[in-house]
Structure 1
Amino acid sequence: MNSLSRRSVIVGGISFLALSGHAEASQKSWYIGRIPDKPFDIPLVDKTRIPRQFRRQTVPYLGRETAGTILINKQERFLYYVEDAGRAIRFGIAVGRDGQRWGGEAIVERRAQWPTWTRTANMRRRNPSLPQRVPGGPNNPLGARALYLYRNGQDTLYRIHGTNEPWTIGKAASSGCIRMLNEHILNSSERCATARALSLSSLRQS
């Protein structure tokens, strides 16, 4: 595995169900403020509602990958960003449901701010009622940022992205992508933007 230009990912699950007033109120209770951003502010999640192990934290890292490498442990629902001096930043993630999990290595070819969601052929077969596309914004299932994964010059259709469903972090809930809290993908995508090479690897063990 090389430096910061590689990654492996998984694409987030999407639900376009109408919300009842009770459900809307319950979901709003997850947010305690806003992070200024353009063209939309980012809802700030109440971290006390996230299990402690899935909150952002710095942890020891004794592996061989160099600083700037991203590692994903799908079994434990963690994404690691390797830093210098034997450390890594660990983030809780949501991963794909059984049968919808992608692994391996890929190159992050681009990143997007408030990305547009476009359904894939597989999604269309599973649920023909899904819209063809959803423009970027607070209601978009890809959240505030997305990192696009490529392999051998081809788009894998898998992403590391934000989410408007923070209650899914730590679960197998997506259609294959890796979901992060919006404030976490914001931090990660900014790090990627400053590096020419960023690598992402799928871990079988921590």
Structure 2
Amino acid sequence: MTSRRGFLAGALASVLATPALAQSVWRMPHEYRPTNVRIGPGQIPGSIQIDSAGTWLYHILDEGLARRYKIAVGAAGRQFVGTAYVGRKAEWPSWRPTASMIAEEPEVYGPFRAGLPGGHQMNPLGARALYLYRGGQDTLFRIHGTPQPWTMGESFSSGCVRLINEHVEQLYDMVPVGTPVIAT
């Protein structure tokens, strides 16, 4: 069985070695395409609901209707759970691993301690990022794009919610700062 560390190192190496090839051979399953779905009553229109176990994100459009996106989530014990709100948004955001990420996995994150500029092929935040805040403070969790679309449906990241870049661009355009986010 491949360890999370081995998987991440292999994924990073594959993106560095053949980014165009890696992305050109992945085919998105039909069921991963954003779609409008019926949902139960009581959801707040405009809010984002994250189903970590099912690896789905729902943007609530109206009473009983949501736009559903396939996501990748944090590894067990690292997932964002609870309530927050979108405190800030960024297009092609820069990225820097947190101190705890570097401390926990120095061989994976240490080489990137200075960060990566937005648009860099190795930047894990992809095309857009929604920064999650709670009580006026950045939680350090994000809803963001990814240069690794083949990770959809998986649980292995350092905690953020990832979407395919095209999908996060769509969500980004529909979600204002202040949007409530509920993750289970």
TM-score of the superposition, structure 2-length normalised?
Answer: 0.84
2:112 is aligned to: 131
Structure 2 residue 74 is matched with structure 1 residue 96: yes
Which amino acid counterpart does residue 127 of structure 2 have in structure 1? Answer: A
Q: 1:197 to 1:102 in 2, by over 3 A?
A: closer
1:122 is aligned to: 100
* Pairs within 5 Å for 1:74-85: 74-85=52-63
Spell out structure 1 runs of 4+ moving beyond 6 A. Answer: none
* Pairs within 5 Å for 1:1-206: 17-19=12-14, 23-24=18-19, 26-30=21-25, 49-128=27-106, 129-132=110-113, 133-139=115-121, 140-193=123-176, 197-203=178-184
Percent of residue pairs identical: 41
* CA distance in structure 2 between the aligned counterparts of 1:126 and 1:21, rounded to whole angstroms: 22
Q: Report the CA distance between 1:28 and its aligned residue.
A: 3.5
Q: 1:200 to 1:14 in 2, by over 3 A?
A: farther
* CA distance in structure 1 between the aligned counterparts of 2:132 and 2:50, rounded to whole angstroms: 14
How many aligned positions are there?
172
Q: Secondary structure at 2:141's aligned position in 1?
A: strand
**Is the 8 Å Cα contact of residues 124 and 130 (structure 1) preserved in structure 2?**
no
**Is the 8 Å Cα contact of residues 55 and 73 (structure 2) preserved in structure 1?**
yes
Unaligned runs of 5+ in 1: 1-12, 31-45
Q: Report the CA distance between 1:21 and its aligned residue.
A: 8.9
**Is the 8 Å Cα contact of residues 54 and 78 (structure 1) preserved in structure 2?**
no
* CA distance in structure 2 between the aligned counterparts of 1:21 and 1:162, rounded to whole angstroms: 18
**Is the 8 Å Cα contact of residues 149 and 158 (structure 1) preserved in structure 2?**
yes
**Is the 8 Å Cα contact of residues 146 and 162 (structure 2) preserved in structure 1?**
yes
Unaligned runs of 5+ in 2: 1-6
**Is the 8 Å Cα contact of residues 14 and 22 (structure 2) preserved in structure 1?**
no
Per-residue deviation, residues 6-51 of structure 1 (Å, max 9, x unmatched): xxxxxxx976834489754641314xxxxxxxxxxxxxxx7xx223
Q: Report the CA distance between 1:190 and its aligned residue.
A: 0.8
More helix by share: 2
- Looking at both structures, which has the greater relative contact order when contacts are Cα pairs under 8 Å and sequence separation is at least 6? 1
TM-score of the superposition, structure 1-length normalised?
Answer: 0.75
Q: 1:87 to 1:127 in 2, by over 3 A?
A: same
Which amino acid counterpart does residue 22 of structure 2 have in structure 1? Answer: Q
CA RMSD of aligned residues (A): 2.3
